């Protein structure tokens, strides 16, 4: 009975270690980011059309979608545009 418990513990430790290793291989911990997967994705600013790394962008949720802008100025401009669209 003791042996079975030992095997179980070793197995769980092996699994935990493997998943920990996989996580570290897939996304090296950097800056303590919560979204390491999208860290280095280049995306286009919908307002000025510039390409920039997503992690440096300004995120905003709007209408059930997440928009990312190169700067708070572009975010504000986007909001202005949305208002104008609604008025028209």
Q: Which residues bind Zn ion (CB under 5 A)?
A: 45, 47-48, 70, 74
* CB 63, min distance to Zn ion, A: 19
For Zn ion, which is the closer residue by CB, 47 or 67?
47
Tokens of 9: 């513990």
Q: Which two tokens stand for residue 42?
A: 């280049």
Ramachandran category for residue 57: left, alpha or beta (phi over 0 → left; psi -120 to 50 → alpha) = beta
Which one, 39 or 76, has the nearer CB to Zn ion? 76
The sign of the torsion formed by the CA atoms of 17, 23, 27, 33 equals negative
CB nearer to Zn ion: give 49 or 64.
Answer: 49
Q: How far is the CB of 43 from Zn ion (least distance, A)?
A: 11
């Amino acid at each position: 009975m003791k042996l079975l418990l030992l095997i179980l513990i070793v197995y769980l430790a092996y699994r935990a270690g493997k998943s920990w290793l996989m996580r570290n291989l897939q996304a090296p911990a950097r800056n303590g980011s919560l979204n390491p997967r999208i860290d280095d994705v280049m995306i286009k600013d919908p307002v000025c059309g510039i390409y920039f790394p997503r992690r440096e962008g300004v995120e905003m949720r709007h209408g059930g979608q997440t928009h990312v802008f190169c700067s708070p100025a572009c975010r504000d401009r986007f909001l202005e545009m949305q208002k104008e669209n609604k008025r028209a």
